[in-house]
Amino acid sequence: MKCYIVDAFTKVPFGGNTAGVVLLEKGADYPDDAWMAQLAAELRYSETAFIRPEGPAEFTVRYFTPAGEIDLCGHATIASFSTLFQEGLVEAGTPCINHTRVGDLEILPGPVTMMQMAPARRVGTFENPEMLAALLHAMGGLEADDLSALPVENISTGLPDIILPVRDVATLQALRPDMDALSALSTRYDVVGVHACAIDPTDGYTAHVRNFAPRFGIPEESATGTANAAFTYYLFLHGVIADGAQCAFLQGEAMGRPSTVLSTLTLQNGHPDIRIGGPAAIVLRGKLF
């Protein structure tokens, strides 16, 4: 089996969000689940993707953290299909199908773009003063004046996240969440975590963002496909973007791993179709024994 280390959502190594990528031979059986989790633990990245070719442009991808299998991972998907294209294993310009545990996803080339997992929806709001106060406390003692005029909402395109708009980039970069309190709050509202954002199109980006998911052992994520899909829908709901929008989100600055996450939103029969994508850089290739 071939093994790669790939930085997703960046054009240069040592930026973005890193994933392990393992390529099986066509027709091969997947290794034992415990073995795949052990390999994910050995690589020490948040996710490792195991790709099995099913046809010229059709693949089954399974995703493992060091603790076990998960249904889907956005940055590991970008890393996987970027590797397939860069290594010449898929003909340039060819759309692909990714068979996952949550269903089949269409993958488009150049830069690699994946469709949303599920219909976009607003799960709930944080208009209740007690809910908002608990969230502000968990985010390190934010004040109401630190927020933007846009509301705090729970949005999902398959995985729910709390979208927390703050007033400016300086406030965003100064965030120091209480990870224990945030983990408990995320469990209480059954969300992955908090996607904090500062809308500032003056520097060429739609927004600067930070993602915190301590409930799942991730204090901060340098690039998050699923949360930025939810954020794209949030921007559409509140009239910040319109049908046909192309967005660019800058994430990972506070971690020293700047990432560019791209998204598009188009209406299909009145329903938003959201695509998330970006570049990826192969850092290492090798062979598993």
195-221 pLDDT per residue, tens:
999 998 788 999 999 999 999 888 999
User: What's the pLDDT band for 102 if we cut at 50, 70, 90?
Assistant: confident
CATH superfamily, with its number, for domain 121-274: Diaminopimelate Epimerase; Chain A, domain 1 (3.10.310.10)
pLDDT at 189: 97
Assess contact for 183 and 135: CB atoms under 8 A.
Answer: no
For residue 155, is it left (φ>0), alpha (ψ between -120 and 50) or beta? beta
Distance CA 57, CA 98 (A): 9
pLDDT at 140: 96
pLDDT at 116: 81
Question: Average pLDDT, whole number, for the chain?
Answer: 94
E strands of the chain, at which residues? 2-8, 17-23, 48-55, 58-65, 68-70, 96-100, 103-108, 113-115, 121-125, 153-156, 160-165, 194-199, 207-213, 218-221, 245-251, 259-268, 271-277, 280-287
pLDDT at 216: 87
**The two three-digit tokens of residue 89, written as one number:** 């294993």
- Average pLDDT for residues 158-174, to the nearest whole number? 96
User: What's the pLDDT band for 158 if we cut at 50, 70, 90?
Assistant: confident
Distance CA 61, CA 77 (A): 8
Asked about 58 being catalytic, the answer comes back as no
Can you say whether the dihedral through the CA atoms of 12, 266, 228, 284 is positive or negative? negative
Catalytic-role residue among 47, 153, 220, 221: 47
Q: Do domains 2-115+279-287 and 121-274 have the same CATH topology?
A: yes
Q: Which residue, among 226, 175, 165, has the nearest Cα to 197 in the 3D structure? A: 165
Q: 90: which DSSP letter? A: S
Tell me the residue type at 182. Answer: L
Tell me the residue type at 212. Answer: F
Backbone angles phi, psi at 127, to 5 degrees: -75, -25
The predicted model scores a pTM of 0.89
CATH annotation of 2-115+279-287: 3.10.310.10
Check whether 10 has a pLDDT greater than 90. yes
User: What's the pLDDT band for 1 if we cut at 50, 70, 90?
Assistant: very high
pLDDT at 71: 87
Residue spans of the domains in the chain: they are: 2-115+279-287, 121-274
User: What's the pLDDT band for 115 if we cut at 50, 70, 90?
Assistant: confident
